[in-house]
Amino acid sequence: MDPRIKSIEDQVNNFLIKTKEDLESYRLQFISKKGVVSSLFDEMKTMASEHKKQMGKSLNDLKQLAEERFKTAQEALENNASTASADVDLTLPMIPNKTGSQHPLNLTRFRIIEIFERLGFNVEDGPEIENDWHNFTALNFPENHPAREMQDTFFVEKNPDVLLRTHTSNVQIRLMKNRKPPFRAIMPGRVYRNEAISARAHCFFHQVEGLYVDKNVGFADLKQTLYHFAKEMFGKETKIRLRPSFFPFTEPSAEIDISCLICHGKGCNVCKYSGWVEIAGSGMVHPNVLRNCGIDPEEYTGFAFGMGIERITMLRYSINDLRLFSENDIRFLKQFKPVI
């Protein structure tokens, strides 16, 4: 064997490859077209044939050895780079740590619950798929009354009427029918209406219902409770205004407005230049509703209210399009950080 081949074989075996740069100089020296192995192949072409044969075999073995060494060293370097680098601890949490955030409607719901719980209100729940009686009839909506028109919804079955509830007032009925007064409860939940979807209306949204039934509950209790709520929710400076209104299930009825948070009463496009923004409907529970639930209106009186969570959230955070709440756009949602 040509002594040069033996010596190159030793060099291949002993070449230290620790970095990418080492690998590259190894490649240039032994593998590339200009390397030592190639030049011996060139030399061989000029040799006599019996020499050529012998030399050819040893050179091919050398070439194979050099290439194998290259491949193993290259793989080892790649594996090292992806795993065993000493200063990376793969057990640490990912940076940045994306934990998500609370939905703004939930933040508002939790705040509403917190305020009323401190006044002694429980949280109650009721079904979203409801029958006509709980959603309308028991709430003193006479059949064919125009008040039903304003709350068109989605019917699961037409006869008997099974529908998606149009308001959380159905829970008032379930509560009063199934338990004995006194009651002091709020009832948050999702409601549905057959509405054209726009920046101000959707076919589903959220409400919080409130109900207080006891002996001697009067209109002053209603007003003071909602005034307290408005100040807690929107700030001490907030004023409230009660406007006479109509709901079949309350008598008298009032719409609750708060002084506009944006212009403080001066007039702006949020309050439509009136200085006031509506936040809830309310009133004294109609005697027919109490009777429908087996409660004697001579003995008990009560007030009720219902407010839209979307509306309050829009006022709280100056959001001008209600569709944002259900579009799941992370750029919108991640702006709401819970205060833990």
Q: Residues in the site for ligand DAH, rule: CB under 6 A?
A: 167, 169, 209, 247, 250, 281-283, 304-306
Distance CA 338, CA 236 (A): 22
Give residue 99's region: left, alpha or beta (phi > 0; psi -120 to 50). alpha
Q: In one letter, which amino acid is 116?
A: F
Least distance to ligand DAH, CB of residue 146, Å: 14
Minimum CB distance to ligand DAH, residue 169 (Å): 4
Q: Measured from the CB atom, is 66 or 168 closer to ligand DAH?
A: 168
Instruction: Select 104 or 283, whichever has its Cβ closest to ligand DAH.
Output: 283
In the complex, least distance from residue 272 CB atom to ligand DAH, rounded to whole angstroms: 19
Whole-number Å distance between alpha carbons of 281 and 139: 14
Is cis: bond before 96, omega within 30 of 0?
yes
**How near is the Cβ of 274 to ligand DAH at its closest, in Å?**
20
| Residues 308/200, Cβ–Cβ less than 8 Å | no
Q: What angle do CA 65, 71, 72 make, to 5 degrees?
A: 90
Identity of the residue, 104 or 281, whose beta carbon is nearer to ligand DAH in the bound complex? 281
The residues near 173 (Cβ < 8 Å, ≥ 6 apart) are 134, 138, 139, 289, 292, 293
Kindly state the smallest distance separating residue 94's Cβ from ligand DAH, in Å. Answer: 44
The CB-of-308 to ligand DAH minimum distance in angstroms stands at 8
Question: Measured from the CB atom, is 169 or 259 closer to ligand DAH?
Answer: 169
> Does the N-terminal peptide bond of residue 252 adopt cis geometry, omega within 30 degrees of 0?
yes
Q: Which is nearer to ligand DAH, 8 or 191 (CB)?
A: 191
Nearest distance, CB of residue 202 and ligand DAH, angstroms: 14
Structure tokens at 107: 């933040």
CB of 282 to ligand DAH, least distance (A): 5
Is the Cβ of residue 62 or residue 309 nearer to ligand DAH in the bound state?
Answer: 309
Distance CA 301, CA 287 (A): 8
Q: What is the CA radius of gyration of the chain?
A: 39
Q: How far does Cα 84 stand from its chain's mean position?
A: 38
Q: Which is nearer to ligand DAH, 8 or 168 (CB)?
A: 168
Q: CB neighbours of 336 closer than 8 A, spacing ≥ 6?
A: 101, 102, 103, 104, 107, 317
For the CB of residue 241, give the shortest distance to ligand DAH in the complex, in Å.
16
- Please list the residues that pair with 130 across neighbouring strands: 163
Q: H or E element: which one contains 114?
A: helix 104-117
- 25-49 b/e (C-beta count within 10 Å ≥ 16 → b): ebbebbbeeebbbeebbeebeeeee
Q: Which is nearer to ligand DAH, 189 or 281 (CB)?
A: 281
Q: Which is nearer to ligand DAH, 37 or 163 (CB)?
A: 163
